[in-house]
Amino acid sequence: MKRSLKTLSLLLLGALLLFAMGPASGQGVRLVSLFVTFGGSELNALRQGLDAFTSATGIEVIVEQSREIIPILRTRVAGGNPPDVALVPRPGVVAEYARLGAIFPLVNADGSDGIMSAETLHANYSQGLIDVGVVDGVVYGLMAKANSKSTVWYKPASLAALGFSVPSTWDELIAITNAYRAAGKTPWSIGGQDGWTLTDWFENIYVRVAGPENYLRLFVTHEIEWTDPSVVEAMNLFRQIIRPEENLAGGAEGSLSRGFIDAANLVFRPDAGAELYYEGGFIGGIVSANFPDLRPGEDFTAFLFPAIRPEYGRPVVGGGDLLVAYRDTPEVREFFNFVAGTEFATIWAATGAIVSPNRNVDPSVYTVLAALDAGQVANAEAFVFDGSDLAPSALGGDAMFTGLQDFVSNPDQLTEILQFLEDVADANY
Amino acid sequence: MKTSPFIGWAFILPAAVLLAVYLLYPTVLTIRMSLDTGQGFRLSEFIGLRNFVNLFTKDRFFFDVSRWPPRGALFNTALWVALFTLGTVGIGLLVAVLANTVRYEVLIKTIIFMPMAISFTAAGIIWRFVYSPDPKIGVLNALLMAFVPGADPVPWLGRTSLVNYAVIFAGVWIWTGFAMVVLSAAIKGLPKDVLEAASIDGASGWDTFWRVMMPMIWPTVVVVGTTMIINVLKAFDLVYVMTQGGPRGASRIIGYTMYVETFTNGRAGYGSAVAVIMLILIIPFLIMNLRRFRAEGRSL
Amino acid sequence: MTTATTATVSAARPVTGTLFLRYSSRIATHLVLVVLAVVWLTPTAGLLVTSFRPLEAISDSGWWTALSPARFTLDSYATVLTARGMGRSFLNSFIITIPSTVLPVFIAALAGFAFAWIQFRARDTILLVIIALLTVPIQMILVPNLQLYSRLGITGSFVGLWLVHTAFGTPFGIYLLRNFFVQLPRDLFESARIDGASELTIFFRIVLPLSTPALASLAIFQFMWVWNDLLMALVFLSNPGRQPMTVAISGMIGTYGTEWHLLSAAAFLSMSVPLVVFFALQRYFVRGLMAGSVKG
């Protein structure tokens, strides 16, 4: 009995070993490995485009996925085992890899073809969107999906009942805020436990106060310091939202202990706890998944973040994912040229999962919610990338998150907070 | 002992080789890296102790003594070491001893053990539900409102003075099962006749526990306690999924700092310096263990 | 805890005047255990109920109100179970976990025995170094090991992952087992050595059989940690055909991690395996160390 058990386990171990040592993958098959940050239905949508690539070229795409894409990529790149291609959500990280020599130029500084055809790139993308992936004059990242982060979500019925229409200026937005409060309702829900919701607020205000050029000088080059009067002015405008505390569901403390999903749910659930919610275009998809009874575009929808200074209008702050190449193989080259083309972009956009920055995608392919998001991106007076993703990670992550969380909980400390951010910026550029 | 001097080495050889390659070598690299900027995980610029100096003078998330009480990841870790270790070992011991005497032993042990089998991601979700500031979602606030009329909901994870205790409790919830299983194994291993003898001698249960049982399982208590402390020193998952170190950096612990600096911010040198501090912090507990080995050695 | 020992002997001893005391301590025991059970179960129960609720219910009300109105669905479980590659990844989880549990337990037992019962030079120093290695955070070993694997050409293989898990689990195993082994009665070893038994025989015939509770607890923890590991699988296995369940589950989650219904259902499916292992090993936890082995 004992002996047979031993033999059995030995056999089992042997079988496992054989199994585990087996060939890694089919030989002779043409492959591209792709690392992305999203899974689920978003990944299934991407697969539709990838299938088109496989049937057009015979190259198979192996998709790996993790929401912790930045840490995993850092580890695997340093360990010598990167994927061929990755879809990276932070331009700041793309720049870091470009300077380390870990990724290949897509289009060279002199405009000649690198991994991909310069012609295809320019035929499908506007210069503004190409620039997001440029590091030191060389195109390293291809913006494959985009989204607006300038959407203020609201309930048309509630706004109409208050006697207001969609605001186009900051003063109107504050008037609505005050009117809600006067009517005994809580105007805003904020999910400040996720610090990036607060940086998104700040970025939208700042680009409207200082303009897109100064925005880049603050986040990308740090030519503007965090103690600059323009930053102070933007923060003081944000203060009009977060004070008095009755503006916020749960006050300052409640706002800082709530994640961004809870904050959205609070506005759109049957017995709502607030009336307005500012976050990106992706909130539409989350709300309609969480509340299938609500009709998108009618029961809930979004307006473009209102203008503050007439000369700067309403620029769109946006996010997006950049495709970068860790290896230069013929398969990777074919992949980039296909993904940059109109066919791939159209298939992917038609799933409703993303907004394509490709200008040749017909807007009629989008779903109601995606069209709202796509419309803002396509019609943007100016498009600037999410500043906290442009800044070095140490500044754009925890430092800005905590700085703004500090501000929500105690706006009187503005001077100290900005000095802290300036110190961090000083150490990281 | 008259065994060959090499036989001991032969027994530890597989472990020694494995640990040298997989743990010791990377540790040495980490120590070296802590003296460097570590751009892209490569040695790129030797900067001496600057990372350490910056940690203690410029990083208010790590070490901030400008206010009372002092704040930062280092002090939060100290709080964790005290409360988490006490909680897991204390409750684990309580359950291990008490469950031994009841008929539903397996049931109660399973209940306490269960959280250990839940992934950190899922544990993070469930505790964010428990602690939600919204009494419609958060069970803790729902209970508070039900039993204390007129009370305001408490933002457990949103208040800097509460957040550490809230996260530590979730940690105790997860890890008590560990302490319970190991301590229970030790109690089951006690020779029955000794306990019975003590009991027949007329010692009360309380006395039997402190005078007879506790000294016998003390080495195991030390092992579990040390393991828990080490756990705290390198813990980051729970903070990562529950609070991301917030609000306002108030729930950062050193394991979290190490992870964020190294992998999110890409500063391998700085993160390595934090890892070296972890190694230094364990030294007092090593000395405690060494004393115990020496004591056991004498009795051998 | 007063009852820890009295329960076992009360039958053999006439009940005396401390009857009241005994009953009240008995009640206190039950009370403490029940309160702990309720506190411990509440979050788990919340997760369980959540896993059966549709996303819209999760979003607008607490799980304890799930019965009014009753909104339950098995959809989340169906989605998880039928997700792309889930069956294969379930199998992969076993392929990864079983060797990664057996190997470190065995290697740690060998070393733990030597540290406890064999005298050799620098023994305590080496043991201290090993305990110090317990503090090494897993993230710190990834890059050097990955570089090593790239050089050896074994990136992406199961073997590579087994060895990392084994190395990472071994220090704790040695520390735990050495502590248990050292408590075995000394005369056992002496009489065996006098009888001429080799150290290997002592290890297999005496140490291992007498230490089943410790070996079983180590095995269950190592099993669970490897089973729930996501990070190492993501770093060391790049082939999706080899991904374990944790990777497959995280693959169902979108950019913003909003799929709470799927995560809670997946959590229960995934934790059921370690729980089965826990039950299976339960009898080893209960069996007394000394029972029937060395009484003489």
Any domain includes B222: yes
Contact by Cβ (8 Å): A299, A151: no
**To which H or E segment does residue A331 belong?**
helix A330-339
Identify all chain C residues contacting B137, using CB atoms and an 8 Å cutoff: 61-62
Span C40-54, average pLDDT? 89
For B16-51, write each residue's pLDDT tens digit.
Answer: 999 999 999 999 999 999 999 988 888 889 999 999
Annotate chain B with DSSP letters as a single string. Answer: --S-HHHHHHHHHHHHHHHIIIIIHHHHHHHHHTTB--BTTS---B-TTHHHHHHHHT-TTT-B-SSSS-BSHHHHHHHHHHHHHHHHHHHHHHHHHHHTTSTTHHHHHHHHHHHHHS-HHHHHHHHHHHT-SSTTT-HHHHHHHHHSTTPPPP-TTT-TTTHHHHHHHHHHHHHHHHHHHHHHHHHHTS-HHHHHHHHHTT--HHHIIIIIIHHHHHHHHHHHHHHHHHHHHH--HHHHHHTTT-STTTT--HHHHHHIIIIIS-BHHHHHHHHHHHHHHTHHHHHHHHHHHHHHHHH-
> CB pairs below 8 Å between A and C: how many?
122
| A138 and A200 inside one domain | no
Helices marked H in A269-316 — which ranges? 283-290
Q: How far apart, in whole angstroms, are the C-alpha atoms of residue C68 and residue B184?
A: 41
> CB-side exposure of A247: number of CA atoms within 13 Å?
19
Q: How far apart, in whole angstroms, are the C-alpha atoms of residue A281 and residue A375?
A: 11
| C55 and C111 inside one domain | no
- Quick one: pLDDT at residue A11? 58
Number of domains in chain C: 2
Any domain includes B75: yes
pLDDT higher than 90, residue A386: yes
- Quick one: pLDDT at residue B288? 84
| C115 and C45 inside one domain | no
Highest mean predicted confidence (pLDDT) among A149-158, B218-227, B266-275 = A149-158
Any domain includes A27: no
Reported confidence tier of residue A390, pLDDT bands at 50, 70, 90: very high
pLDDT higher than 70, residue C58: yes
For B77-118, write each residue's pLDDT tens digit.
Answer: 999 999 999 999 999 999 999 988 888 988 999 899 999 888
* Chain B touched by A175 (CB under 8 Å): no
- Quick one: pLDDT at residue C278? 84
A160 CB-near residues (< 8 Å, 6+ apart): none
Residue A323 DSSP class: E
A411: preceding bond cis by omega (within 30 degrees): no
CATH number of the domain that C130 lies in? Answer: 1.10.3720.10
- Quick one: pLDDT at residue C13? 43
Contact by Cβ (8 Å): B122, C264: yes
Query: Which of A74-83, A240-249, C252-261 has the least mean pLDDT?
Result: C252-261
Any domain includes B17: no
Any domain includes C78: no
Boundary residue ending a domain (C73, C101, C128)? C73
| C17 and C129 inside one domain | no
Any domain includes C69: yes
Which residues of chain B from 136 to 155 reach within 8 Å of chain C, CB to CB?
A: 136-139, 142
pLDDT higher than 50, residue C197: yes
| A354 and A293 inside one domain | no
Q: How far apart, in whole angstroms, are the C-alpha atoms of residue B262 and residue C139?
A: 9
Instruction: Give how far A199 is from chain C: nearest CA, Å.
Output: 16
Any domain includes A378: no
| C114 and C220 inside one domain | yes
Q: Which residue has the tokens 């039958």?
A: C11
Any domain includes B170: yes
CATH number of the domain that A283 lies in? Answer: 3.40.190.10
Which chains have 3+ CB pairs within 8 A of C?
A, B
Identify all chain C residues contacting B139, using CB atoms and an 8 Å cutoff: 42, 46, 62-64
For B118-131, write each residue's pLDDT tens digit.
Answer: 888 788 888 988 99
Number of domains in chain B: 1
| A111 and A190 inside one domain | no
Nearest to B246 among A93, A250, A401 (CB): A401
Identify all chain C residues contacting A78, using CB atoms and an 8 Å cutoff: 143, 146-147
For residue C34, what are the CA distances in angstroms to B104, B116, B127, B134? 11, 19, 21, 28
| C93 and C196 inside one domain | yes
Closest residue of B to A407, CA-based?
A: B248
Say which residue, C244 or C11, is predicted with more confidence.
C244
How many C-beta atoms surround the C-beta of residue B286 within 10 A?
Answer: 17
For residue B78, what are the CA distances in angstroms to B73, B277, C104? 9, 13, 31
Instruction: Give how far C239 is from chain B: nearest CA, Å.
Output: 22
Per the structure, the complete domain to which residue B114 belongs is given by: 38-299
Contact by Cβ (8 Å): A82, A73: yes
| C126 and C267 inside one domain | yes
Say which residue, A267 or B197, is predicted with more confidence.
A267
Reported confidence tier of residue C155, pLDDT bands at 50, 70, 90: confident
Any domain includes A238: yes
Token pair recorded at residue C74:
């098995």
Say which residue, A114 or B100, is predicted with more confidence.
A114
Per the structure, the complete domain to which residue C37 belongs is given by: 3-73
Q: How far apart, in whole angstroms, are the C-alpha atoms of residue B150 and residue B163?
A: 23
How many C-beta atoms surround the C-beta of residue A353 within 10 A?
Answer: 24
Contact by Cβ (8 Å): A218, A224: yes
Instruction: Give how far C152 is from chain B: nearest CA, Å.
Output: 13
Q: How far apart, in whole angstroms, are the C-alpha atoms of residue B232 and residue B256?
A: 10
| A194 and A119 inside one domain | no
* Chain B touched by C168 (CB under 8 Å): yes
| A210 and A242 inside one domain | yes
Q: How far apart, in whole angstroms, are the C-alpha atoms of residue C124 and residue C116?
A: 10
Q: Which of A397, A396, A395 is nearest to A426 (CA)?
A: A395
The residue type at A184: G
Per the structure, the complete domain to which residue A255 belongs is given by: 151-314+392-428
Token pair recorded at residue C164:
């990392």
Any domain includes A276: yes
Any domain includes B8: no
Any domain includes C156: yes
Say which residue, B81 or B266, is predicted with more confidence.
B81
Q: Are the Cβ atoms of A290 and C59 closer than 8 angstroms? A: yes
Q: Which of B3, B101, B283 is the best residue to mutate to test the C interface, defined by the most C CB atoms within 10 Å of its own CB?
A: B101
Identify all chain C residues contacting B129, using CB atoms and an 8 Å cutoff: 43, 46, 50, 62-63
Token pair recorded at residue A214:
């100064």
Any domain includes A84: yes
| A167 and A114 inside one domain | no
| A240 and A168 inside one domain | yes
| C97 and C156 inside one domain | yes
| A304 and A192 inside one domain | yes
Contact by Cβ (8 Å): A273, A266: yes
Any domain includes C294: no
* Chain B touched by C107 (CB under 8 Å): yes
Span C64-76, average pLDDT? 82
Q: Which residue has the tokens 């944000």?
A: A238
| A342 and A399 inside one domain | no
Any domain includes B129: yes
Q: How far apart, in whole angstroms, are the C-alpha atoms of residue A337 and residue A340?
A: 5
Q: How far apart, in whole angstroms, are the C-alpha atoms of residue B202 and residue B210?
A: 14
The alpha carbon torsion through C134, C135, C139, C141 (nearest 10 deg) reads -60
Partners of C205 in beta bridges? none
Q: Which of C55, B162, C56, B148 is nearest to A257 (CA)?
A: B162
- Quick one: pLDDT at residue C235? 86
| C69 and C88 inside one domain | no
| A278 and A409 inside one domain | yes
Contact by Cβ (8 Å): C140, B30: yes
| C90 and C67 inside one domain | no
Any domain includes C291: no
- Quick one: pLDDT at residue A47? 95
Closest residue of C to A22, CA-based?
A: C157
Measured in whole angstroms, how far is the alpha carbon of residue A351 from the centre of its chain? 18
Contact by Cβ (8 Å): C80, C249: yes
Any domain includes A8: no
Contact by Cβ (8 Å): C211, C265: no
Q: How far apart, in whole angstroms, are the C-alpha atoms of residue C265 and residue A419?
A: 46
Identify all chain C residues contacting A64, using CB atoms and an 8 Å cutoff: 234, 238, 240
Question: In residues, how long is chain C?
Answer: 296
CATH number of the domain that B47 lies in? Answer: 1.10.3720.10
Query: Which of A303-312, A409-418, C226-235 has the least mean pLDDT?
Result: C226-235
The residue type at C102: V
A155 CB-near residues (< 8 Å, 6+ apart): A267, A268, A272, A275, A299, A300
Give the ipTM of the model, two decimals please.
0.87
Q: How far apart, in whole angstroms, are the C-alpha atoms of residue A358 and residue A130?
A: 10
For residue A55, what are the CA distances in angstroms to A49, A52, A361? 10, 5, 21
- In three-state secondary structure terms, A29 is coil
- Quick one: pLDDT at residue A16? 59
Q: Are the Cβ atoms of C251 and A43 closer than 8 angstroms? A: yes
Partners of B74 in beta bridges? none
- Work out the percent of chain B whose per-residue pLDDT is above 70: 94
| C261 and C199 inside one domain | yes
- Quick one: pLDDT at residue C292? 34
Number of domains in chain A: 2
| A118 and A194 inside one domain | no
pLDDT higher than 50, residue C2: no
| A218 and A266 inside one domain | yes
Identify all chain C residues contacting A83, using CB atoms and an 8 Å cutoff: 238
